[in-house]
Chains A and B, each alone.
Chain A
């Protein structure tokens, strides 16, 4: 079948060429559709339900909102788990679905349940699902600023409120229409509001209450449509506008009348343009600012969307008011382009090296180019495949593509074809005719097609374990394996169709076949070494074992990390302050911090989000901030060679000079992704579940004490759930009864007085602003003022009969002063209360987190489990769960420990099938551990820790190593089947096969060299894999060439045996 395919390709060679061109074109077109990002998106399938509950304390939020929402979500299909967070004014329930669930399906389900639960929620809360975005979604950030000296139309300086209004009503609506942008989030500045500030004394005088003000505002601010009338054949629409449009109109609203005089809002209240009680703020370089973030729709191409956003921002600039500018502070395009540049350079340089090696060894530039053509062809096919399987192009998915390995199959075929052509030419003593060429190529291709396929199959098989990974590591590495498999598949396809056809078309001239200088030198050096190895075979074998054991031990004791992190080029600096830190205080500290950090010469910009943005994708309290430190391009640094780690250290030191905050340094994308994936980001998280917060806290303290003493435990911490100062207005029911007041009345007044209450909206075109009724600042601003909030009393019997004049005369004038201070009906105390309440799967929980240093996670967790079980006594209904990053590490390790041996076994079986002898298969297989030693050594030399990335490198390595061994052993077997002695067969076989072994090795390792040495953005992610492969291939080549023959001589005796079934085929590729 394969031979017929080759024949057909040769026959229709121009068509094949055309089809290949078509594949390239198709690939190029698909490349436009290929989602490109810096790193793979590892966010799980989750839907956030954010509920804003203005004024609710954490306890009320949990009880009235979080609990019903959470309960409604239980039992959803494909649900993995739920977790929730209840904070001041905000409930966030995160529903995590099983991997692979369609996000829109999930949102549909959640949306239905939200509809059902809405009735149970208190009036006035807004339930909304978070945007359809992921941890990589924040692709573009900008600030809205006023130029120095710019004035508004009104002639005053631009205030934060003005800038926020520009953002909300000019920039954001336009930006939201950019295709691929799912949401534009805003933080910072103040939302414009209109505040009606009633004077309680004046209200009293008119015998009016807050409620009357609210009612009046509501009843005098609406437009009404009244249908239409017909008049002389025309239709007239009828409308009656009644909306207020400005402060004066609000002031003129009539509340009631007294003695025929209308009482207007202006008589009892002042109306001003005010600021909202905000939950978050933003700063840049020590000044407050307004920060907008464009969020990427799931599955979109971050680079192209970020570009579109940037272009739209430029457009919008024209429509901004004079003096207002936007300033781009974060653009994902920069990072993506830098990484793509790195990847592209690596691939291009790798390809160039491969072509050079091919030319050097093949000695025929046309043949080398034909072989190299397989690279763009298979890449084009791979891109098409990636688009079809929805694999995005990034550092990881493209990180394992080694053009050397990909062209292996093609190399073998081209080589053999060249040999055949040269032979035929020598026989005929002239240039060949077309049919003769075709025949030679046909023979040359079919002769080696089986070993070529076989080798590719082995390399493909070793990638299978990677496909079984799930969870975060699966999301990182499965695309990588898929891409490699697709590339290998495409390469195979092209090497049996395109390669023969192209050779037939292009390799027309004289084909010489003489060994070039490189090979002659190599052989001369190799021969004595081989002889020495065979003579001292026992010693060589022992040495090999020693090296393998030593590197095994070394590997076991090497530092490990989960996945190398991409250097995003920027720094995220999160400041964490004690619960209860006010927004203003947080802002002050942050401004000081930013000014200090800005003094570091490498820092370009420092901007920060404090607290929660308008859309609560990341619910933080005002005590928490996410800071982004943008570094200058290296060229602008005082010392461009300074390592980034030093800069980070400088930042750390500088931050330490500003007291009052703890800091966490990370990177923007990394930070965001971590926040989304799970609540627990430490190695080990011990979750205590239960009902009562105090008991939970106590239990958590016991757990903390239990694990603190365990060796290896560091950063042991209890989740901060308490410590938020709460002002509790506790009503005295007896006092209320005496005054004839109800609890709700007083609560309503406290609510209006302190927090304010929305009483409709004011429209300015599309823009709409809340009208809020609130007590003037001096009556609500501090503890004493709150205690003195006037509570109006219900009217007494005779009060209504009195005229204002009577008041002046009446002996009991004080009956008119009918209000009491809040403190006479309530006690007002400040007590610490819960800061936040976290729940998981419907239960309250507190997490004790710990990191593990200088010890392996598995044994630490085992010891910790025992210690907790022994020392922590829990009341009934309370239980403990374990989680944290160790779960991922453990699950990945566990899976790999099963699947890797299985894959190796598969390889062994393949070898056995191919060679027909378990002993030979075992010999070939011995190349694997030998190859690994080089990988370990290379890692050690470059001081790179073990990681799953490096692990994947080892996997790829095994495939190449086995192929090397296979090539040699198969040829030796063939020689022996021809009747040579073992020693002779080994010597000759090894020498003959030196060339292909060196070639595959050189091609495969040189293909990775640019990746291993690159320093551009993202290089650190690819480095471990490339390093392992290069080191391993060097060692495996040396060892295959020296140790394998020695082992062969050591273990095989001169026994007449049958030729292995596949041996000749295998060996054929080596006949040169």
Chain B
């Protein structure tokens, strides 16, 4: 009786033990993780090649979902512009000061500021103090009276110009060019001048570059001569100008939005075979508002991430990102 009951007990114990173990095994697997930090994706989707360039696997579908587009690297024509500030000035070669030859009393004045004059038009009559005869001041050129320094009865001195007559049919635009831009500006470059009067830009070309600079502002002067048939340009007003740099053809260029920096290197994301994208370090050259020249690192014909390239950068770095 006793032995048999001991056997029964042993069998029951063994069965229980086995049952217990069978319960334990799944329990171990069913180890629950803290719901609070649901498992984050480890950063294993980024791999590195022998050059240390980062690669990432990402499908076209996924890229499209985030608005990322690809483009083919190709040659491009770079047309960049430089912006300058300038001032309108009367054409100094067509500004004439009319100065009385002899000091005397102004007897009559015939022209006022703003009057258009033809050559040899009478400007004023002055009675000379020396000869007490009246002589005439005549316009030396055709133009506009832009200054009058005398009034009726005044004693006009030969020291001081009585009138300034300027031919405003042509106007100087003096542009100040900062040092760093000087090398990119040449005579005969095309310039678009905007007088900011809402009537659009005026095309001109640079006709003169000053051989000396201004010590105060560290700029040098470039001059554009513009025709001013309708008097739209008024000397003394500031204008802005855009210089169109000579167009340049480059062998490989990418869109501006493709350029990213990764770990202090300038890179372009390049599509490799399959669903891989490589963060390719590149050397950039000139650029314009749309394209950037790639001097090294990318060959024409390769596909690169053109728009929304930041998303790819973010995807690469997301394993390290965290929330706090």
Interface residue ranges, A against B (CB under 8 Å) = 85, 201-202, 204-205, 536, 538-539, 542-543, 546-547, 550-551, 553-554, 557-559, 561-562, 565, 574, 576-579, 581-582, 585, 588-589, 592, 596, 620, 623-624, 657-667, 670, 674-675, 679, 681-683, 715, 717-720, 723, 725, 738-739, 788, 790, 793, 796, 804-805, 807-809, 811-821, 823-824, 830-832, 836, 851, 853-854, 885, 940, 943, 945
Segment at the interface with A among B23-31, B69-77, B133-141, B197-205: B23-31
Say yes or no: B178 contacts A820, CB within 8 Å.
yes
Given A662-B321, A666-B38, also A817-B66 (CB < 8 A): no
Name the one of B39, B83, B92, B321 contacting A715, with C-beta atoms under 8 angstroms: B39
Bound complex: CA A661 to CA B319 (Å):
9
Number of interface residues, chain B, beta carbon within 8 A: 81
Shortest Cβ distance from residue B305 to the other chain A in the assembled complex, whole angstroms: 11
Shortest Cβ distance from residue B2 to the other chain A in the assembled complex, whole angstroms: 8
Bound complex: CA A719 to CA B61 (Å):
32
Say yes or no: B318 contacts A546, CB within 8 Å.
no
Say yes or no: A830 contacts B261, CB within 8 Å.
yes
Say yes or no: A661 contacts B90, CB within 8 Å.
no
B residues near A718, Cβ cutoff 8 Å: 320
Interface residue ranges, B against A (CB under 8 Å) = 2, 5-6, 8-9, 12-13, 16-17, 20, 23-24, 26-28, 30-42, 58, 61-63, 65-68, 83, 85-90, 92, 95, 146-147, 164, 174, 176, 178-180, 214, 216-219, 221, 235-238, 240, 261, 264, 308, 310-315, 317-324
Known interface pairs A562-B34, A720-B322; 8 further A-B residue pairs with C-beta atoms within 8 A, sorted by A's residue number: A204-B238, A543-B13, A543-B16, A809-B147, A815-B217, A817-B217, A824-B179, A851-B34
Q: What would be 11 A-B contacts, judged by CB atoms less than 8 Å apart?
A: A538-B5, A543-B13, A547-B16, A554-B20, A554-B27, A620-B323, A660-B310, A660-B318, A808-B90, A820-B178, A823-B180
Bound complex: CA A658 to CA B36 (Å):
23
Shortest Cβ distance from residue B79 to the other chain A in the assembled complex, whole angstroms: 15
Say yes or no: B322 contacts A578, CB within 8 Å.
no
Shortest Cβ distance from residue B213 to the other chain A in the assembled complex, whole angstroms: 9
Shortest Cβ distance from residue B114 to the other chain A in the assembled complex, whole angstroms: 13
Name the one of A204, A662, A831 contacting B318, with C-beta atoms under 8 angstroms: A662
Say yes or no: A542 contacts B264, CB within 8 Å.
no
Name the one of B5, B38, B321 contacting A578, with C-beta atoms under 8 angstroms: B321
- Nearest first, the 7 A-B pairs at minimum CB distance are A808-B235, A660-B314, A578-B317, A539-B9, A550-B20, A559-B31, A660-B311
Say yes or no: B41 contacts A662, CB within 8 Å.
yes
Given A576-B323, A816-B87, A851-B37, also A658-B65 (CB < 8 A): yes
A residues near B174, Cβ cutoff 8 Å: 813-814
B residues near A812, Cβ cutoff 8 Å: 214
Given A666-B35, A808-B235, also A818-B216 (CB < 8 A): yes
Say yes or no: B32 contacts A559, CB within 8 Å.
yes
Say yes or no: B315 contacts A553, CB within 8 Å.
no
Say yes or no: B37 contacts A681, CB within 8 Å.
yes
Name the one of A201, A551, A562 contacting B20, with C-beta atoms under 8 angstroms: A551
Say yes or no: A854 contacts B31, CB within 8 Å.
yes
Say yes or no: A808 contacts B89, CB within 8 Å.
yes
Given A543-B12, A807-B87, A816-B87, also A589-B66 (CB < 8 A): yes
Bound complex: CA A579 to CA B262 (Å):
12
Interface hub of B42, B63, B312, B314 (most chain A Cβ within 10 A): B314
Say yes or no: A796 contacts B216, CB within 8 Å.
yes
Say yes or no: B164 contacts A664, CB within 8 Å.
no
Interface hub of B17, B27, B33, B261 (most chain A Cβ within 10 A): B27
Shortest Cβ distance from residue B197 to the other chain A in the assembled complex, whole angstroms: 13
Given A542-B13, A576-B322, A715-B39, also A814-B176 (CB < 8 A): yes
Name the one of B20, B34, B218 contacting A553, with C-beta atoms under 8 angstroms: B20
A residues near B37, Cβ cutoff 8 Å: 664, 681-682, 715, 851
Name which residue of chain A comes closest to B56, CB basis. Answer: A659
Say yes or no: A720 contacts B164, CB within 8 Å.
no
A residues near B27, Cβ cutoff 8 Å: 554, 557-559, 940, 943
Say yes or no: A576 contacts B89, CB within 8 Å.
no
Shortest Cβ distance from residue A88 to the other chain B in the assembled complex, whole angstroms: 15
Say yes or no: A725 contacts B261, CB within 8 Å.
yes
Name which residue of chain A comes closest to B164, CB basis. Answer: A809
A residues near B23, Cβ cutoff 8 Å: 554, 940
Say yes or no: A201 contacts B39, CB within 8 Å.
no
Bound complex: CA A718 to CA B30 (Å):
28
Bound complex: CA A818 to CA B321 (Å):
47
Shortest Cβ distance from residue B265 to the other chain A in the assembled complex, whole angstroms: 11
Name which residue of chain A comes closest to B171, CB basis. Answer: A808
Given A546-B16, A592-B66, A664-B38, also A553-B33 (CB < 8 A): no
A residues near B89, Cβ cutoff 8 Å: 807-809, 813
Main secondary structure of the interface of A (DSSP, over half): mixed
B residues near A205, Cβ cutoff 8 Å: 237-238
Shortest Cβ distance from residue B225 to the other chain A in the assembled complex, whole angstroms: 14
Bound complex: CA A43 to CA B40 (Å):
25
Bound complex: CA A201 to CA B308 (Å):
35
A residues near B90, Cβ cutoff 8 Å: 808-809
A residues near B237, Cβ cutoff 8 Å: 205
Shortest Cβ distance from residue B258 to the other chain A in the assembled complex, whole angstroms: 15
A residues near B41, Cβ cutoff 8 Å: 662-663
Interface hub of B8, B147, B310 (most chain A Cβ within 10 A): B310
Shortest Cβ distance from residue B33 to the other chain A in the assembled complex, whole angstroms: 7
Bound complex: CA A804 to CA B237 (Å):
9
Bound complex: CA A479 to CA B264 (Å):
55
Name which residue of chain A comes closest to B35, CB basis. Answer: A565
B residues near A813, Cβ cutoff 8 Å: 87, 89, 174
Given A553-B24, A658-B66, also A815-B214 (CB < 8 A): yes
Say yes or no: A577 contacts B318, CB within 8 Å.
yes
Bound complex: CA A880 to CA B40 (Å):
25
Shortest Cβ distance from residue B302 to the other chain A in the assembled complex, whole angstroms: 21
Say yes or no: B321 contacts A550, CB within 8 Å.
no
Name the one of A659, A790, A807, A821 contacting B311, with C-beta atoms under 8 angstroms: A659
A residues near B62, Cβ cutoff 8 Å: 657-659
Bound complex: CA A804 to CA B12 (Å):
112
Say yes or no: A585 contacts B31, CB within 8 Å.
no
A residues near B315, Cβ cutoff 8 Å: 659-661
Say yes or no: B16 contacts A818, CB within 8 Å.
no
Bound complex: CA A425 to CA B240 (Å):
117
Shortest Cβ distance from residue B22 to the other chain A in the assembled complex, whole angstroms: 10
Say yes or no: A559 contacts B28, CB within 8 Å.
yes
Bound complex: CA A204 to CA B87 (Å):
12
Bound complex: CA A832 to CA B261 (Å):
10
Bound complex: CA A793 to CA B40 (Å):
55
Name the one of A539, A661, A823 contacting B8, with C-beta atoms under 8 angstroms: A539
Say yes or no: A659 contacts B58, CB within 8 Å.
yes
Shortest Cβ distance from residue B195 to the other chain A in the assembled complex, whole angstroms: 12
Given A543-B9, A565-B36, A793-B217, also A659-B180 (CB < 8 A): no
A residues near B36, Cβ cutoff 8 Å: 565, 666, 670, 674, 681
A residues near B216, Cβ cutoff 8 Å: 793, 796, 815, 818
Bound complex: CA A592 to CA B318 (Å):
17
Shortest Cβ distance from residue B312 to the other chain A in the assembled complex, whole angstroms: 7
B residues near A885, Cβ cutoff 8 Å: 34
A residues near B240, Cβ cutoff 8 Å: 201
A residues near B324, Cβ cutoff 8 Å: 85, 624, 675, 679, 719, 836
Shortest Cβ distance from residue B192 to the other chain A in the assembled complex, whole angstroms: 15
B residues near A824, Cβ cutoff 8 Å: 178-180, 218
A residues near B95, Cβ cutoff 8 Å: 809
B residues near A557, Cβ cutoff 8 Å: 24, 27-28
Interface hub of B30, B34, B36 (most chain A Cβ within 10 A): B36
B residues near A804, Cβ cutoff 8 Å: 236
Given A813-B174, A817-B176, also A945-B323 (CB < 8 A): no
Shortest Cβ distance from residue A1042 to the other chain B in the assembled complex, whole angstroms: 14
Bound complex: CA A576 to CA B176 (Å):
48
Say yes or no: B319 contacts A662, CB within 8 Å.
yes
